A and B are shown apart, each in its own frame.
Chain A
């Protein structure tokens, strides 16, 4: 087990394309850190640099107390789980698990012990003599995890391991990965583009955008205090409502006295759908903002519904979460309210939180 330390890591591809633009990140011993971001943000490249599958243009990667920049992947004491599992198709499950250990010339008895232990932990004991082609997606994923587990490495690296599974299995495996990691306490670096996966798995969530870290923190911290407009819209579904503040305030928005006097004009306000509610005739409270919307659509999810409405004069579209089933009719007026304490404020120029 070990700490992973990245210092100003950069990746420049041929043609001067900079995929990772100076990332410094410290993954504590035993922590579960999730890198999340849209495609092309450099998250996979970063992971592959830690794994040693991608050369490091500048900066250092340290695993434990060794700088591993020039070490082969096999010498870095890491194990990786790939998106498409990357199991050896011609080997049985047992051989797949053993392969990395055999290459390290480990004693047969120790190999057998580790394989049995991993098989028990992942409940793949019955599959040991089958080949990957005879397994379902979920089972293959387990075997891929097993191959990482038997190595007992200093760190696990996960490269979107659940992306090829169906929704139900993904939730199940997600919980299982979390449980295993808690139990083994192995330092883990996990890459995903799925923010739900990121939120549920991470001790520390690292949001990447265009090769840079936008924000790093606990999932709730990132959710409740997004450091930038990018994070605010990327984390949370439906995305946070954004309201560009103009010289005359925002048409259709009634705010408590004095709220906007404190703000500069070049600002964007943000409020999450779940912090809004539909007003049904009651008088406004002093700390409350009110939105006069025209309903544009309704999404019924099941336990809750999202009502979408637009502010007058071509204003932004606002999503409001409503518990249960919403009877709002498109085209009808609707008043929504939100407490000002839930308001996020961002500088429109820099995108940073104010």
Chain B
């Protein structure tokens, strides 16, 4: 680490504090707004300290239901979004580990063709294939279902590539030692490959969870029922162009609640990253 002397240190801190303020203030201001009544918000200026409506606002949002989105409670929204984000993250990890496993450790005809096919899907994100995907989902009757929210987003070339690169760093002798020790392919995957990949999995999980949590376009299309909305979609629906119609205090509450789970995931998983970095096992 570089030791800074004299003015360097306070300067560095000043820059950090200013940066932190720029990033954190809007979030703080959102929180403040979420504790005010609608009338206070609509009559500027907005106070800089939390108001007295915190219990009422959060209670109503979480357990009562919000009128603008058909009286659905934020708990329902949170649950929907959680199912989708977890489904996407875990599904992507599951599928890409299996496909990377096949591509790296098995010799079969057209192996590289399959690998390139997976690779090519990088060029076909959801936005590009949205119409055919929507048609397929309609035909399968998956509109307004969790499966419909999750399945089209599961295939992941990026994660497959990441695991492929990692699997290729595993020494051939380790694979051979396992073969001699009587571990078949699936047991090798379970007993050796997965434990060795856990830091990769953890890192990927964080990225994919946030990717899933912030999905907008696909959930907007595939959910019609208010009960199936994700929190991002609901937030969008709450905001009306006529200011008076928008329950701003509820929007702020929902925003804060929408931020919390991804923040939690990052904070909790951070320890895994560090442990994975310190404990180099290979």
Give chain A's interface residues, CB within 8 Å of chain B: 51-53, 72-74, 78-80, 82-91, 99-100, 103-104, 131, 133, 147
Measured between beta carbons, the chain B residues less than 8 angstroms from A72 are 179
Closest 9 CB pairs of A and B: A100-B181, A74-B182, A86-B173, A103-B182, A86-B177, A89-B281, A90-B195, A82-B173, A73-B180
Interface 0/1 of B154-196, CB less than 8 Å to A = 0000000000000000010110111111110001000110011
Task: Tell me, rounded to whole Å, the shortest Cβ–Cβ distance linking B171 to chain A.
Answer: 6
Measured between beta carbons, the chain B residues less than 8 angstroms from A53 are 176, 179-180
**Can you list 25 residue pairs at the A/B interface with Cβ under 8 Å?**
A52-B179, A53-B176, A53-B180, A73-B180, A82-B173, A84-B173, A85-B173, A87-B177, A88-B174, A88-B177, A88-B192, A89-B281, A90-B192, A90-B195, A90-B196, A91-B195, A99-B181, A99-B183, A100-B181, A103-B182, A103-B187, A104-B182, A133-B280, A133-B281, A147-B181
B176:A99 contact, CB within 8 angstroms: no
CA distance A133 to B281 in the complex (A): 6
CA distance A91 to B178 in the complex (A): 13
Measured between beta carbons, the chain B residues less than 8 angstroms from A52 are 179-180
Interface residues on B, range: 20 to 34
Which DSSP category, helix, strand, loop or mixed, fits chain A's interface?
loop
A74:B173 contact, CB within 8 angstroms: no
Q: Within residues 61 to 107 of chain B, which ones have a CB less than 8 A from any CB in chain A?
A: none
CA distance A90 to B198 in the complex (A): 10
Q: Taking each of B177, B178, B196, B281, which has the highest tally of chain A beta carbons within 10 Å of its own beta carbon?
A: B177
A80:B171 contact, CB within 8 angstroms: no
Measured between beta carbons, the chain A residues less than 8 angstroms from B173 are 82-86
Measured between beta carbons, the chain A residues less than 8 angstroms from B280 are 133
CA distance A53 to B174 in the complex (A): 12
Measured between beta carbons, the chain B residues less than 8 angstroms from A99 are 181, 183, 191
CA distance A91 to B174 in the complex (A): 13
Task: Tell me, rounded to whole Å, the shortest Cβ–Cβ distance linking B28 to chain A.
Answer: 42
Q: Within residues 195 to 243 of chain B, which ones have a CB less than 8 A from any CB in chain A?
A: 195-196
* B5: interface (CB < 8 Å): no
CA distance A72 to B178 in the complex (A): 12
A74:B180 contact, CB within 8 angstroms: yes
B281:A86 contact, CB within 8 angstroms: no
CA distance A278 to B196 in the complex (A): 62
* B282: interface (CB < 8 Å): yes
Measured between beta carbons, the chain B residues less than 8 angstroms from A86 are 171, 173-174, 176-177
CA distance A86 to B279 in the complex (A): 18
Measured between beta carbons, the chain A residues less than 8 angstroms from B176 are 51, 53, 73, 80, 82, 86
A79:B180 contact, CB within 8 angstroms: yes
B282:A82 contact, CB within 8 angstroms: no
Minimum CB distance partner of A75 in chain B: B182
Measured between beta carbons, the chain A residues less than 8 angstroms from B282 are 89
Q: Taking each of A83, A88, A131, which has the highest tally of chain B beta carbons within 10 Å of its own beta carbon?
A: A88
Minimum CB distance partner of B177 in chain A: A86
Measured between beta carbons, the chain B residues less than 8 angstroms from A87 are 177
Minimum CB distance partner of B196 in chain A: A90
Measured between beta carbons, the chain A residues less than 8 angstroms from B179 are 52-53, 72-74
